[in-house]
Amino acid sequence: MSLLNREIFWPPADELTEVAERIRSRLGEWPAASKEWRICLTAPDAHGANDLIVFTEQHGADVDRLIADGAAVLEAHGERAVLRRGDERFVLEGERSDDWLAALAAFLDCDFEPHDALTLALAWRPGDENKPDAWPVDFDTFPRVGDLPAAPATPFPECPQRLGLYPVLPSAEWVERVLDLGVVTAQLRRKSTDADDLKREIERSVSAGRRHQAQLFINDHWREAIAAGAYGVHLGQEDVQTADLDAIAKAGVRLGLSTHGYYEMLRALHFRPSYLALGAVFPTTTKVMPTAPQGIARLARYVRLLDGRVPLVAIGGVNGDVLRDVLATGVGSAAVVRAVTEAQDVKAAVSALQHEFAR
């Protein structure tokens, strides 16, 4: 897709546009961008929701007003870049190549959200477009997420690099049923506000995990998981700010973290979790997702960057129809929900899913 006939930069910057076009042409086929961003090198008089306004020097602009008007604002000084969009704030630290703004335009055109496009743009290095695979794949060039609390002094325990089939289940009865079928990794996602119910369900699930020597994770309820002696807990990005990660680590409980793109992966890695969940790969109705589905192509890129660095779990809309394609990316685990809990024959469904991992 050509960038040359579009207003990519304001004021018009032909040289930047040509470099962006050259980079974009080397990134391969991606879905058309759902939003055509305009990168503004100075604050325009008329600005709106499609504008990403970049300041690389000190300025007197009213950033709060620009954001209130719907624009995104990126302030990049030295090795620190701060992106603000609505109520969200994204901080990245690291070197920038001379072509980083052109790379930002190219990755935005690949339909990445601004914070993920910025992450990739900061990882871009001169000459990358001349490589057989132009996509940033060297982890050492990627920026760091800034302004994060310290990671726990006690590292989270490790779990197997390849966790295999990973059913996410609504009750202890389901946990027992699935573990009895030979599944060795599972998660209890109990949607309840009843403290007594949570305690019973978690204790019963943990007990089943011990009987089967399985890797049983508890979703969200980390206090109850610690009390029950759970193998692990699974938390969302928003939980990192509220959960006592030190207490989880000191209890010897493993930690899995949800991620939804490059920025969140780097943010999660700061805390040295036991595994990362990458999603949602496909549309899912089991929960409201903060981002659009990632798709197989993005999943493959994530796996290539992180495989061997931390165990990875693909999650979101995964079922028997797509599992083979998911595993072809090299990911070592896939979480499933309805593929098990809504199966007409649960034993047959689990067997078929397990067979895909054994291929």
Encode the chain (359 residues) as per-residue pLDDT tens digits: 578 778 899 999 999 999 999 999 999 999 889 999 999 999 998 888 999 999 998 888 899 999 999 999 999 999 999 999 999 999 999 999 999 999 999 999 999 999 999 999 999 998 888 888 899 999 999 999 999 999 999 999 999 999 999 999 999 999 999 999 999 999 999 999 999 999 999 999 999 999 999 999 999 999 999 999 999 999 999 999 899 999 999 999 999 999 999 999 999 999 999 999 999 999 987 666 667 899 999 999 999 999 999 999 999 999 999 999 999 999 999 999 999 999 999 999 999 999 999 98
Tokens of 179: 């573990």
50 among annotated binding-site residues: no
Q: Which of 318, 326, 330 is nearest to 283 (CA)?
A: 318
Say how far apart CA 184 and CA 163 lie, in whole Å: 8
Residue 286 annotated in ligand binding: yes
In contact, 270 and 153? CB cutoff 8 Å: no
Q: What is the pLDDT of residue 3?
A: 84
Q: How far apart are the first and last CA of the chain?
A: 37
């609504």: which residue's tokens?
Answer: 170
Is 220 annotated for ligand binding?
yes
For residue 83, list its beta bridge partners.
74, 90
**How many angstroms separate the CA atoms of 165 and 233, rounded?**
17
154 is in an annotated binding site: no
And the tokens for 35?
């939003």
Residue type at 357 in one-letter notation: F
Residue 191 marked as a ligand binder: yes
**Residue 171 marked ligand-binding:** no
Instruction: Select from 252, 253, 250 the least CA-distant residue to 221.
Output: 253
pLDDT of 287: 66
Distance of CA 138 to the CA centre of its chain: 18
Per the annotation, does 188 bind a ligand? yes
193 carries a ligand binding annotation = no
Q: Distance between CA atoms of 125 and 141, rounded to whole angstroms?
A: 8
Rounded CA-CA distance 246/155 in Å is 9
Rounded to whole angstroms, the Cα distance separating 158 from 252 reads 10
Ligand-binding annotation for 147, yes or no, is no
Q: Kindly list the structural domains of the chain, giving each domain's residue range(s) and its CATH number in brackets, ordered by start.
A: 9-145 (no CATH), 164-358 (3.20.20.70)
SS3 for 35-91 is CCCEEECCCCCCCCCCEEEEECCCCCCCHHHHHHCCCEEEEEECCEEEEEECCEEEE
d(CA 323, CA 122): 33
Check whether 219 is labelled as a binding-site residue. yes
Residue 187, marked binder: yes
- What residues contact 344, with CB distance under 8 A and at least 6 apart? none
* 294 appears as a binding residue in the annotation: no
